[in-house]
Each structure stands twice: as structure tokens, then as C-alpha cells.
Amino acid sequence: MVVDSNSVASMDDERSASPGPDDHLDLRPYRAGDEEALMRVCLETGAAGEDATDVFTLEPSLLSEVYLLPYLALESGLATVVAGRDGPPVGYVLGALDTAAFEAAAEERWWPSLRERFPRGAVADDSPEAVLVRRIHEPPSTPPEVLRDHPSHLHVDLLPAAQGRGLGRRLLERLFDQLAAAGSTGVHLGVSAANVRAIGFYRAMGFVEWPSDGSGSLTLVRRLQERA
């Protein structure tokens, strides 16, 4: 099973929907207390952009433990959410400025406690959660050839209520500006090959495909600025 951690489920075409008078959504920085709502977003977009609530039934929080919460713990300054005036977040973008440093920090400060909570064999081998447990114990390292020009990475997810309003584009543009201002030359992300609409959105945002490893997941890259 390929878990999609970047689930803008449709092209972010502002013509496809418009907010109602009582449904204004805007961007704001992540703040403590958003976690529960963001975990809901993560779960409800975790199946190639579709709701994964009926997929991860044994440990529904595990998807967020892998793809959301480490970023809030280690790189909270790069987290931006989509929310209404008084409502909970319905989307977010997360980023890591230096992927290699983020992976090292997660190995030291995030994965050890999760390995204690979810030891190998904690869930059935044929369950969707087993993929996530294996990732906790064997987190992948991003290839250095990707990191040479694209050292940063991101995850972005929007519930259907937040799609079609240009918010996905604004989330990414805000993060691009933050990363470039901090000196990053480029950014990469992973997306399920099955999430065709999201791939179209990323291509419209300037991403191009990195050569595939045949895993069912695509790596897309985008330059932010030339190296000094």
C-alpha cells in the first residue's frame, strides 16, 4: 500500500468553487491546540487524497504520528494552516528546511518513543498500519542526489471544503518564500502515482518528476533559487 502524504486531491482551480458568506477560509501560522483538527485532516486525506478513516481502523492516529506530528514538533515555524474565522483547521502545509538534518533529528528525538509504543509486530502484517510501523523502525533516507539541489521537503493536505479556492497554491507559495528566505535552493515531495489530480496541481506549481524507483510513489522537485 502506498500512503499519500501530500494529498491536495484536486487541481486548486479557484473557478471550481467559491466560499460562501459564512465560510471564509484563510491562512495562519500553526499554533498549539491545532493538533487534533490537523490529525483529522491527515487521516481524511490519507488514501491518495481520499478519506482513509475506513483504511486505518486499528490505529487511526498512526498516520499523523508519521506524516504530521514530527513536523509540528521539529519544524513548527514552517507549518501553516487553513482555517475559518472561528473554526478548526481544514488544511495545512508542513515543511523541513534541511531534510538531512530533519531526518537526523527525527531519528534522535521522534522515532525512539514511537518504536516503544509500536514495536515490530504490534499490528498484523497484512494491515495498512503495518506499513507505517515498518516506516517507524526503518525510516527512509532521502537520496543525496535529490538533496543536492532540493534540500527541503513538504507535506500539504486540504479537506474538500478547502479545495478549489486557491488555498493550496497560497500555502505552497508561502512555504516557498519561507524556504528561499532561509537559503534553500529547492524543495521536493512524495506523492502516490495514483493521485493524478494532485500531480497535475504540483506540475502547475512548477514541480517536475524525479526519475521513479518503481515503488508506486513519485518524487517531484522544484527549484527555488540558484545555489550561491
Fold (topology level) of 25-223: Aminopeptidase (3.40.630)
pLDDT in tens, 204-222: 999 999 987 766 789 999 9
The pLDDT of residue 6: 67
Q: How crowded is residue 180: how many other Cβ atoms within 10 Å of its Cβ?
A: 15
The pLDDT of residue 22: 45
Question: CA 132 to CA 129: how far, in whole Å?
Answer: 5
Give the rounded percent of residues in the chain with a pLDDT score beyond 70.
88
Q: Is the pLDDT of residue 163 over 80?
A: yes
Question: CA 49 to CA 4: how far, in whole Å?
Answer: 7
pLDDT in tens, 19-29: 443 468 999 99
pLDDT band at 10 (very low <50, low <70, confident <90, very high): very low
Q: What is the dihedral of CA 175, 178, 184, 185, to 10 degrees?
A: 60
Residues found in the chain:
228
Question: CA 152 to CA 101: how far, in whole Å?
Answer: 10
| Mean pLDDT score, 132-136 | 97
pLDDT in tens, 169-192: 999 999 999 999 999 999 999 998
Q: How crowded is residue 17: how many other Cβ atoms within 10 Å of its Cβ?
A: 15
| Mean pLDDT score, 75-82 | 98
pLDDT in tens, 31-41: 999 999 999 99
| Mean pLDDT score, 150-160 | 97
Domain boundaries along the sequence of the chain: 25-223
pTM for the whole structure: 0.90
Q: What is the dihedral of CA 209, 148, 216, 140, to 10 degrees?
A: -160
Q: Is the pLDDT of residue 50 over 70?
A: yes
